Structure 1
């Protein structure tokens, strides 16, 4: 935190100039399009690039926050989702040349890499978790990836996505407005990639209820979307968190142990039921498609 002339600013170091410039351009274009759920950069960035020990430094408005956003609270879940969907609707309309430098999100490649790492870690993980659970999650991941690859889905990007919709990347100001922060993982993709990630983040807090997920206005457009249901079967949180567990030190392992037991073991019956409901939706959609086109296998 930096304080000048009584005004507070947030200071962040970026890994390279391109990362900084892309986020600066994005924030500027969002604000110009009247999307005021982001924090503006200091005007000094209009004149010069700030460097510290060779790395670019970004200075943004300091936000006085109320209590942290928690996906355990229905209002927080809804407010964060509303802001995310507003962001998508605005980012779809950004057509400036700088967007060509934003990396395209290869989500299936990332998911495969994450699953392979989880599979590699299985011999170590079996010291902590019964193999039945581990191999069930692995089978769900394999099935999901296999089916996603078999579907002819559009590879083109329709908008800029945030890339990390964890609760800590949404802040509620004392004015009540919810803000998005940390666009380090921004990419060109379809909004469904953010939506799938958001759904996976909130599902543990709604007891893996597909019906509650489908009641969200933002997700109703996926009612008959195979990609969405199959994507939800991929246990991204289990793979991500256990892979990190293996990487981190003993202090981290002790700190997250209860959380990992919760998402992996205690929620397993609800996740199994959720998975069965997803398979039911997939069969329903396939039957509809076959009714419209008998040549579909």
Structure 2
């Protein structure tokens, strides 16, 4: 058999993984390509599928069960796991699932496109509608969303990174970013109960643009449920708003025009959450964690996000604070 592997790692590991799959699956594998980490695109003589590894069997089983429940609930805008009807694939300490491959459209989903922003939030809202009925079934399996804990950890990591960040960004800017984070956290913690009074749903937890996939036929899919949790749908919507605001030039009025998001803008808790500079803190922490901060290609986008957009973000902060009703 000719092994055709496209990857960016250890040849020995990939060759052994290829051989293991060939012995376990009842199809002939033609090609295997590493997409990222422990995720591979596998092409057989008949079809393609995604092979994804999980660190423990419980995580794989939850993903398999959730995507099946999601489909049974009537939400057909995501992938399914293939049922192997045998023991799970286990190789080098990871458990592997076989996921339906969705051939993507040449026009990728883009938060910079108005219609995509509208379709994305519409899909996310539909996802919440369907997963709200699944909450009782997954009560013992999924964690409850704890945004204050997550944001506090992110802020503390950013604060520890300040000596390196201030090599590239004026100290006055980073000090103000931390002030925004502190103000947002303090008020969000105080007010979040008003959001938690909403009926809980299962949250996606990572509404980055790459988790919205447009199929070759033009249908929009929501993918990658590794970070699912339970909580108010407002928490996913907060993250969605933070993702799209740079493309709205940080204009609050533009946010008010977006269906499914605008209904949350009367909530002081939601407004307080909007003030948290989640994207800047996340990207600096990720950059420094990966030790790539000196590479100009990696630095340029985060410096633009931090410095280039600073005045727009500051005006947004002032606009939102003026709307807080307390």
- Give the alignment's TM-score, normalised by structure 2: 0.82
Offset at residue 95 of structure 1 (A): 4.4
Offset at residue 96 of structure 1 (A): 5.1
Contact 1:40 1:60 (C-alpha < 8 Å) held by counterparts: yes
Q: What CA distance in whole angstroms lies between the structure 1 residues aligned with 2:296 and 2:139? A: 42
**Which residue of structure 2 lines up, in the alignment, with residue 94 of structure 1?**
134
Structure 1: any 5+ residue segments left out of the alignment? 287-297
Q: What CA distance in whole angstroms lies between the structure 2 residues aligned with 1:220 and 1:172? A: 25
Q: Deviations over 1:145-189 (max 9, x none)?
A: 111222261657701101110001110001111111111111112
Offset at residue 37 of structure 1 (A): 0.7
Equivalent runs, 1:140-155 vs 2, <5 Å: 140-151=180-191, 153=193
Q: What CA distance in whole angstroms lies between the structure 2 residues aligned with 1:152 and 1:244? A: 27
- Give the 4+ runs in structure 1 shifted more than 3 A: 95-99, 154-157, 250-253
Offset at residue 55 of structure 1 (A): 1.4
Tell whether 2:91 aligns with 1:49.
no
CA spacing shift, 1:238–1:152, aligned 2, 3 Å: closer
Equivalent runs, 1:1-297 vs 2, <5 Å: 1-44=41-84, 46-66=85-105, 67-95=107-135, 97-151=137-191, 153=193, 158-250=200-292, 253-282=295-324, 285-286=325-326
Q: Which has the higher helix share?
A: 1
Offset at residue 133 of structure 1 (A): 0.7
SS in 2 for 1:250: coil
Q: What CA distance in whole angstroms lies between the structure 1 residues aligned with 2:267 and 2:66? A: 29
SS in 2 for 1:40: coil
Offset at residue 252 of structure 1 (A): 7.5
SS in 1 for 2:261: helix
Query: How many residue pairs were aligned?
Result: 283
Q: What CA distance in whole angstroms lies between the structure 2 residues aligned with 1:54 and 1:158? A: 34
Q: What CA distance in whole angstroms lies between the structure 1 residues aligned with 2:292 and 2:153? A: 25
Offset at residue 250 of structure 1 (A): 3.3
